[in-house]
Amino acid sequence: MFFTGDMPYIKADTIEKFIDGFFKSKKGIGCTEVDSILMIPAVFNMEYKKELMSLVGDFGAKSVIMFHMNDVFLFHA
Task: Please report the pLDDT score of residue 7 as a whole number.
Answer: 75
**CA end-to-end distance (rounded Å), the chain:** 16
pLDDT digits (tens, 9 = 90+) for 45-72: 999 999 999 998 777 899 999 999 999 9
| More confident of the two residues 25 and 34 | 25
Q: CATH code for 12-76? A: 3.90.550.10
Domain chopping of the chain, boundaries: 12-76
Given a cut of 80, whether residue 4 has pLDDT beyond it is no
Neighbours of 3 (CB within 10 A): 12
3-state secondary structure of 57: coil
Given a cut of 80, whether residue 38 has pLDDT beyond it is yes
Residues constituting the chain? 77
Please, are residues 70 and 77 in contact by the beta-carbon 8 Å criterion? no
**Distance in angstroms (rounded) separating the CA atoms of residues 43 and 34:** 16
Task: Please report the pLDDT score of residue 44 as a whole number.
Answer: 96
Task: Please report the pLDDT score of residue 11 as a whole number.
Answer: 87
Given a cut of 90, whether residue 73 has pLDDT beyond it is yes
Q: Which residues face 43 on adjacent strands? A: 30
Neighbours of 46 (CB within 10 A): 7
